[in-house]
């Protein structure tokens, strides 16, 4: 059902934003979507291919490093979803020294555009749980629980973080504080909602596997850098907060559709530990062994006592197991898409397969009538007639051993099938995997 409401989504070609645009169009909203580069055919094509895009989607070019470019997209909208965030610093920029400065100035500029528009009622900011660490200020230990009052101590150095991770943590923390400072405006002013979103899993509209999905399934794939980020989350938060892509987008829309709403909200369905995630993967996918070093850690983590979103009526539809399983299925689908080969390689593979099938068929043929023994034809001709007759009636060696070897052969075949099943499952989520399961 079409609604007479226009909304803006920044960074619309990203993992969360593209799914959000799709849901908004499905619900009847008109969407102004921003992209850094309107000349990128894959990103533009992704959005234009969405249902109802031809009638209710308008694309705008806008870059966080040139935040004034967002104003035309925001003009005329009633709600703005600020999802875009700089992940890598633009080294060509002389205006900002790092992603933190760019993110903060981007927030300020977008908020200014919202106020100047005279039409925007509420801005919904996509925050991150990396800004909500329950570590005490001195970094010595965790608080008893995690809630909206928690802020990551930026002076603390995390052992599992890279320089890029540290920049991301800083930019998300400081830009969220900036956006929330606008909540103190007089009545009737702009409302600001910040959703501190958990690690997002599930499916995707993108043509590649989102980083967060790779992080979630890293215990199965053995991808070291992704697993390091999983360890970083547990180091920072005492657990690994998770949410499904569909739930996180529904939460954004829920915050828009409320009559009035403002403030900070944790947006996570579940808070497992790395050990609990490994246990699920081990039980669900026994054919792939999760290495011990990818499952070590505390059995219980820091609990979350916040129910602010739920108290307002929001419901999470995807639980812990579904988030993990849908992430694995997404990765399998991505891997299958990468298996397409050039024509000349396909032709070579077909010829090789035919040769293998021919060889296998020949091996399955019953012994030829002239192949009566292991002796050569010349030796047979030298034998006396009686011995020739005896040789003709002598059972074939393969026939003699068939009954004896059948049970062990069946066991071998069963073992080989189990190995193939394990490798097929592993190859689906990690095409470059070695020929033996992870151990």
pLDDT digits (tens, 9 = 90+) for 405-436: 455 556 556 555 655 655 565 556 655 544 33
Classify residue 1: in a domain, yes or no.
Answer: no
- Calculate mean pLDDT across residues 97-113: 89
Beta carbons within 8 Å of 70's beta carbon, 6+ residues apart? 8, 10, 34, 60, 62, 109, 110, 113
d(CA 210, CA 15): 7
Q: Decide if pLDDT at 305 tops 60.
A: yes
Do 332 and 377 belong to one domain? no
Task: Provide the pLDDT for residue 339.
Answer: 45
- Calculate mean pLDDT across residues 7-22: 97
Do 316 and 436 belong to one domain? no
172 against 434, higher pLDDT = 172
Task: Give the position of tokens 């990396």.
Answer: 130
For 252-292, write each residue's pLDDT tens digit. Answer: 999 999 999 999 999 999 999 999 999 999 999 998 888 88
Return the percentage of the chain with pLDDT > 70, whole number.
73
Q: Read out DSSP for 110-169?
A: HHHHHHHHS---EEEEEEEGGG---B-TTSSSB-SEE-TT----TTPPPTT--HHHHHHH
Query: How many Cβ atoms sit within 10 Å of the Cβ of residue 354?
Result: 10
- Please, what is the angle between helix 99-117 and helix 163-180, to 10°? 30
Classify residue 367: in a domain, yes or no.
Answer: no
* Residues 84-92: contacts with CB under 8 Å, at least 24 apart: 84/10, 84/11, 84/14, 84/17, 84/34, 85/11, 85/126, 85/171, 85/172, 85/175, 86/171, 87/164, 87/168, 88/164, 89/167, 90/65
* Residue among 269, 248, 254 at smallest CA distance from 203: 248
Residues of the domain holding 436: 373-439
114 against 396, higher pLDDT = 114
Q: Decide if pLDDT at 389 tops 60.
A: no
**Among 284, 316, 337, residue at a domain's last position:** 337
Number of domains comprising the chain: 2
Task: Give the position of tokens 């996570």.
Answer: 268
**Among 281, 316, 337, residue at a domain's last position:** 337
At 98, is the pLDDT very low, low, confident or very high (cuts 50, 70, 90)? confident
Classify residue 163: in a domain, yes or no.
Answer: yes
Do 306 and 414 belong to one domain? no
- List, in sequence order, every residue forming a beta bridge with 34; answer none if it has no partner: 60
Q: Which of the residues 118, 172, 231, 346 is marked catalytic?
A: 172
d(CA 19, CA 330): 14
Classify residue 351: in a domain, yes or no.
Answer: no
Task: Provide the pLDDT for residue 83.
Answer: 97
Segments in 208-303 forming alpha helices (H): 211-216, 218-221, 224-237, 245-257, 274-284
Do 174 and 258 belong to one domain? yes
Do 75 and 137 belong to one domain? yes
Classify residue 348: in a domain, yes or no.
Answer: no
Task: Provide the pLDDT for residue 378.
Answer: 42
Instruction: Among 61-70, 335-344, 371-380, name the one with the lowest average pLDDT.
Output: 371-380
Q: Decide if pLDDT at 396 tops 70.
A: no
- CATH of residue 293: 3.40.50.720
402 against 292, higher pLDDT = 292
Classify residue 44: in a domain, yes or no.
Answer: yes
For the chain, the helix, strand and coil percentages under 3-state DSSP, each to the nearest 5: 50, 10, 40
CB 187 within 8 A of CB 255: no
d(CA 220, CA 210): 16
CB 392 within 8 A of CB 372: yes
Do 390 and 249 belong to one domain? no
Classify residue 138: in a domain, yes or no.
Answer: yes
Do 413 and 314 belong to one domain? no
At 76, is the pLDDT very low, low, confident or very high (cuts 50, 70, 90)? very high
Task: Provide the pLDDT for residue 371.
Answer: 36
d(CA 55, CA 29): 10
Instruction: Among 142-151, 282-291, 364-373, 384-393, name the one with the lowest average pLDDT.
Output: 364-373
Do 431 and 283 belong to one domain? no
Do 240 and 170 belong to one domain? yes
- List, in sequence order, every residue forming a beta bridge with 376; answer none if it has no partner: none
Q: Decide if pLDDT at 74 tops 70.
A: yes
Q: Decide if pLDDT at 403 tops 80.
A: no
304 against 162, higher pLDDT = 162
Do 228 and 80 belong to one domain? yes
Query: Residues 182, 188, 194, CA angle at the centre, nearest 5°?
Result: 35
Q: Decide if pLDDT at 370 tops 50.
A: no
Q: Decide if pLDDT at 368 tops 50.
A: no
Q: Read out DSSP for 348-362?
A: HHHHHHHHHHHHHHH
CB 319 within 8 A of CB 275: no
At 333, is the pLDDT very low, low, confident or very high (cuts 50, 70, 90)? very high
**Among 337, 365, 390, residue at a domain's last position:** 337
CA 285 from chain centre, in angstroms, equals 18
172 is catalytic: yes
Task: Provide the pLDDT for residue 184.
Answer: 57
Task: Provide the pLDDT for residue 401.
Answer: 47
Classify residue 255: in a domain, yes or no.
Answer: yes
Do 377 and 327 belong to one domain? no
d(CA 382, CA 212): 76
Return the percentage of the chain with pLDDT > 90, whole number.
59
Region for 250 from its dihedrals, namely left if φ exceeds 0, alpha if ψ lies in -120 to 50, beta otherwise:
alpha
Do 392 and 299 belong to one domain? no
- Calculate mean pLDDT across residues 304-312: 88
């Amino acid at each position: 059902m079409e609604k007479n409401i226009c909304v803006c989504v920044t960074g619309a070609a990203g993992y969360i934003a593209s799914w959000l645009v799709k849901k908004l169009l499905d619900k009847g909203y008109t969407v102004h979507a921003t992209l850094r580069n309107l000349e990128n055919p894959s990103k533009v094509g992704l959005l234009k291919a969405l249902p109802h895009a031809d009638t209710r989607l308008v694309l705008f070019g806008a870059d966080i490093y040139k935040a004034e470019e967002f104003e035309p997209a925001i003009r005329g909208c009633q709600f703005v979803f600020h999802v875009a965030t700089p992940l890598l610093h633009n080294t060509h920029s002389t205006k900002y020294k790092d992603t933190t400065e760019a993110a903060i100035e981007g927030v300020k500029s977008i908020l200014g555009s919202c106020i100047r528009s005279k039409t925007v009622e509420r801005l919904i900011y996509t925050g991150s749980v990396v800004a909500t660490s329950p570590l005490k200020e001195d970094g010595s230990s965790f608080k008893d629980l995690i809630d909206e009052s928690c802020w990551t101590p930026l002076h603390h150095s995390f052992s599992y973080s890279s320089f890029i991770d540290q920049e991301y943590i800083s930019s998300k923390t400081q830009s969220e504080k900036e956006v929330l400072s606008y909540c103190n405006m007089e009545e009737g002013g702009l409302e600001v909602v910040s959703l501190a979103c958990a690690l997002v899993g599930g499916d995707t509209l993108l043509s590649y596997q989102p980083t967060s999905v790779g992080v979630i399934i890293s215990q199965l794939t053995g991808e070291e850098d992704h697993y390091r980020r999983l360890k970083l989350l547990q180091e920072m938060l005492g657990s690994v907060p998770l949410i499904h892509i569909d739930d996180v987008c529904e939460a954004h829309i829920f915050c828009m559709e409320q009559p009035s709403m403002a403030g900070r909200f944790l947006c996570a369905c579940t808070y497992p530990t790395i050990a609990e995630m490994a246990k699920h993967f081990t039980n669900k996918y026994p054919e792939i062994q999760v290495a011990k070093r990818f499952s070590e850690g505390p059995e219980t983590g820091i609990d979350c006592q916040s129910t602010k979103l739920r108290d307002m009526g929001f419901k999470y539809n995807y639980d812990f197991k579904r988030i993990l399983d849908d992430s694995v299925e997404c990765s399998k689908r991505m891997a299958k898409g990468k298996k397409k080969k050039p024509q000349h390689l396909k032709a070579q593979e077909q010829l090789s397969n035919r040769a293998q099938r021919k060889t296998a068929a020949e091996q399955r043929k019953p012994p030829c009538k002239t192949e009566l023994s292991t002796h050569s034809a010349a030796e047979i001709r030298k034998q006396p007639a009686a011995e020739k007759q005896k040789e003709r009636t002598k059972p074939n060696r393969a026939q003699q051993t068939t009954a004896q070897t059948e049970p062990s052969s069946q066991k071998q075949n069963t073992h080989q099938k189990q190995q193939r099943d394990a490798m097929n499952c592993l190859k689906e989520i990690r095409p470059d995997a070695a020929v033996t399961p992870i151990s």
